[in-house]
């Protein structure tokens, strides 16, 4: 009875949220991010091609940080296995995975990795055939938490589930490079707004000094010191009166650019991400 309750509670438990997996990835907890993305991809009702982006990215990040080619091989198996199963929500989504599989294959060939051949290639995920094929029990529907050479092959969700709203065009998260660039631009814009406010305050001070000199010299000639102070205050007023609109313009441009960089939609065909290149990593949108 206790075992039955545990099984029922496990089946009813919601899959890990995408935000949890993304937070673990951004914090550098790649093993945890991989585990959470796998559990999400294997959960019923989750559109597997969209959820497996996180699994693939985590495996590629683990390969870049550890140099273990087993992670690269597994990432390649994830892409090739998904292409064999199908179940894509759109042609753009399928093309995106074709590009990922080709990139993985090129990296495997470049490093000369000897990836083991997957023991099974499920091909009937797009349409169920319950009356034939006596071998489905050999395919495990739930992935193990640790990395495997075969790559995760979640069966539920890729068969007959309906994709999440916007899943076919939505990347798993905002790329870190774009977030950093938007933060820098936003910080520059805010700093310029602060400089503009300071210029306005100093301009008002210069105007107040001029008014005080004029009031003090009512009914008499200006002294030499008053003329020099008035000339200095007038020069500061003219200079600051031209400076604050320029600072406001540049600040607005910087803030608008920051928002555009952060919230611009990511092209679904390529999905902005850092990828290994010939001399390091290439960041593409």
Q: What is the average per-residue pLDDT within 8-13?
A: 45
Give dist(CA 172, CA 166) in Å, integer: 11
Give dist(CA 256, CA 263) in Å, integer: 11
Q: Please, which residues bridge with residue 201 across strands?
A: none
pTM: 0.38
> Largest Cα–Cα distance of the chain, in whole Å?
112
Share of the chain above pLDDT 90, in %: 21
CA distances, 228 to each of 205, 217, 225, 238 (Å): 16, 13, 5, 16
Give dist(CA 223, CA 227) in Å, integer: 6
For the stretch 154-180, pLDDT in tens is 444 444 444 455 444 454 456 778 789
Q: What is the average per-residue pLDDT within 85-93?
A: 87
For the stretch 217-258, pLDDT in tens is 887 888 888 889 988 989 999 999 999 999 999 999 999 998
């Amino acid at each position: 009875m206790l075992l039955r309750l545990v099984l029922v509670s496990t089946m009813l438990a919601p899959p890990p949220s995408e935000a949890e997996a993304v937070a673990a990835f951004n914090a550098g907890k790649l093993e945890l991010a991989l585990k959470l993305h796998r559990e999400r991809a294997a959960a019923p009702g989750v559109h597997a091609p969209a959820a497996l982006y996180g699994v693939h990215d985590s495996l590629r990040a683990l390969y870049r940080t550890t140099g273990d080619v087993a992670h690269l091989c597994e990432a390649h198996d994830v892409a090739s296995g998904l292409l064999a199963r199908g179940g894509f929500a759109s042609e753009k989504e399928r093309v995106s995975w074709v590009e990922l599989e080709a990139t993985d294959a090129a990296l495997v060939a470049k490093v000369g990795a000897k990836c083991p051949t997957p023991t099974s290639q499920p091909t009937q995920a797009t349409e169920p055939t319950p009356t034939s094929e006596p071998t489905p029990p050999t395919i495990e529907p739930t992935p193990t938490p640790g990395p495997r050479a075969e790559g995760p092959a979640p069966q539920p969700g890729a068969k007959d589930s309906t994709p999440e709203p916007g899943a076919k065009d939505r990347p798993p998260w905002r790329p870190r490079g774009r977030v950093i660039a938007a933060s820098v631009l936003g910080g520059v814009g805010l700093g310029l707004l602060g400089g503009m406010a300071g210029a306005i305050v100093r301009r008002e001070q210069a105007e107040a000094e001029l008014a005080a000199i004029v009031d003090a010299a009512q009914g008499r000639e200006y002294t030499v010191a008053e003329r020099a102070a008035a000339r200095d205050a007038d020069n500061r007023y003219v200079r600051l009166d031209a400076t604050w609109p320029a600072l406001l313009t540049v600040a607005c441009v910087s803030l608008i650019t920051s928002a555009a960089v952060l919230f611009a939609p990511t092209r679904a065909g390529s999905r902005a991400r850092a990828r290994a290149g010939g001399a390091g990593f290439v960041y593409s949108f």
